[in-house]
Amino acid sequence: MNPWVLLSVAIALEVVGVSFLKMSEGFERPIWGALSIIAYIACFLCLSPILKSLPVGVIYAIWSGAGIAVITLIGMFVFKQPLDFIQLFFISLIAVGAIGLQLTSK
């Protein structure tokens, strides 16, 4: 499978895992906690084969940067967590950096 597709799936699974972790309320709601763990296991299973074809630093930067950007938006719109303009600006820089790494990687 295309490593960029797998990386996209891994990012989505990480975002789902973090969202479920938030919904578990510190593992006080065990179903959401268990779903979070399952999402993270699936995420790492997607990341593992990518390491054979892409540099680990690039993979990690894109995975974490995109995850930060998306989970921040979910925090704002789903969990109603406030962010000010400067925080959004710097998070957008992370997203731009992740996109730049993807575009310049072979």
Q: Which amino acid is at 54?
A: L
Distance between CA atoms of residues 99 and 76, nearest Å: 22
pLDDT digits (tens, 9 = 90+) for 55-94: 998 999 999 999 999 999 999 999 999 999 999 999 999 8
Buried b (16+ CB within 10 A) or exposed e, 78-99: eeeeeeeeeeeeebeebbeebe
pLDDT at 95: 86
For 6-48, write each residue's pLDDT tens digit: 999 999 999 999 999 999 999 999 999 999 999 999 999 999 9
